[in-house]
Structure 1
Amino acid sequence: MKLYGLVLSGGRSTRMGQDKSVIQYHDRPQREHIYNLLSQVCNKTFLSIRKEQESEISEGISTVIDMDEYKGPFNGLLSAHYTYPKVAWLVLACDLPLIDLKAINQLIAARDTKKDATAFATRKSGLPEPLAAIWEPRGLANSIDYLKQATSSCPRKFLINSEIKLVFPKDDIVLMNANSEEDYREVLSKLESS
């Protein structure tokens, strides 16, 4: 089954105070950095964006425009699923500045296509990271049914109540989210010391 890559970069970045997807940790906007990583291991890769971000996207980068049918990350996830319903999606949030190709390959190698999703989890939390996961078509279809009756549009809650495979990265640090100015400074210090 085909595996497409999706970089979720349509969020509003309110906690960061600036667009997280364009911060440069690796000599290019973060969304492009992750897009390039996924392009090395997926059949096709896309940026998930809001309509008003379209003019900012570099030439040669494929996009999926958010359909604004769902709240939160499900907006991007299901917009991609509706566009290509028969493929699995390796989904990464744009605010994972320490994710690397080694970790991505570990997730792919551990993939269980019989489950709804194969998701990274930190050893500390043991909880699935829905925005660092491979979502199978069946799992995304099931999430649509879930959202019709759920009180929450949280993809983690959906995964907790679904048939999934958890994968623990060799180093939890690759799953660090940079959502605030403080996180940004911490990431820079980690990159400088590595």
Structure 2
Amino acid sequence: MPVTHGESESVRGVVLAGGESSRFGAEGDDKALAGVGSEPVLGRIVAVLARVTDRRPVVAVRTPEQRARYADALRDGEVAFVRDDPEYEGPLAGIVGAAAAVGDPWLFCCGCDMPLLDERAVSWLLARLDRDRPAIDGGRVDAVAIEHPDGTLNPLHAVYRREPVASLHRLLPRTAGPRALLAGLESVHTVSPASVPDDVPLDRSTSNVNTRRQLESVREEFTRS
């Protein structure tokens, strides 16, 4: 079921897929296309985001070759593609590129290597935009992010207001990561994992795979379930 919101009623899911999978395995291997269950990781993520937002997700890529490869792996019309912003590197390039290319006021951004992304966790996080609004100073928030016990924020299972992200264009260093983006926004509403209900699998949803060993653990979990 798609989440319904007030101010946040238009949320676009964004999958950041411009990386090179350098830690995943042999040259040419692509973790976004690795199979989990009956479909590639990217396909599972896209399906979750489409259900939660009731909109066609966006996949941010760096090269035409990536776009062609992912388009072949997905159903026709399942996603829209945008290009990473060439002024940045890494995931930040995809977030900024998506902010410049789409018109939706909110973006839920996640990595292409999160096979356990969970509809309940994404829906719960998006609902913070409205349900926690009295706790947000000034009634406005530029992002909603999960705060880890060590005080760091998770920038790749997070919600961003598109407009302030676009306005930071060219203001961050080329090699800045997405945490620098969160630090540059005026109002970031943080969510403690301790506040998450027991039936919302946040840890599962935020986990990612960078190596084949991690992928095999995920595959084993799917086999048992």
TM-based fold match above 0.5: yes
Q: Does 1:35 align with 2:46?
A: yes
Unaligned stretches of 5+ in structure 1? none
> C-alpha separation between the residues in 1 aligned to 2:51 and 2:104?
21
Partner residue of 1:48? 60
TM-align CA RMSD: 2.3
* Contact kept? 2:48, 2:117, Cα under 8 Å: no
Consecutive unaligned residues of structure 2, counting only runs of 5 or more, are: 1-7, 134-138
Give the TM-score normalised by the residue count of structure 2: 0.75
Post-superposition shift, 1:151? 7.6
Match runs of 1:101-120 below 5 Å = 101-111=119-129, 114-120=140-146
Q: Which runs of 4+ in 1 moved over 4 A?
A: none
* Paired amino acid for 1:179: N
Number of the residue aligned with 2:157: 132
CA distance in 2, matches of 1:69, 1:161: 17
Residue identity over aligned pairs, in percent, reads 27
Among 147, 150, 165, the alignment partner of 2:189 is 165
Between the aligned partners of 2:98 and 2:122, the Cα distance in structure 1 is 20
Aligned residues: 191
User: Counterparts of 1:63-142 in structure 2 under 5 Å?
Assistant: 63-85=81-103, 87-111=105-129, 114-122=140-148, 124-142=149-167
Residue 221 of structure 2 is aligned with which of 183, 190, 193? 190
State the SS of the aligned residue for 2:145: strand
Question: Residue type matched to 2:144 in 1?
Answer: T
Aligned-pair distance for 1:74? 1.3
Larger radius of gyration between Structure 1 and Structure 2: 2
Partners of 2:176 and 2:162 lie apart in 1 by: 18
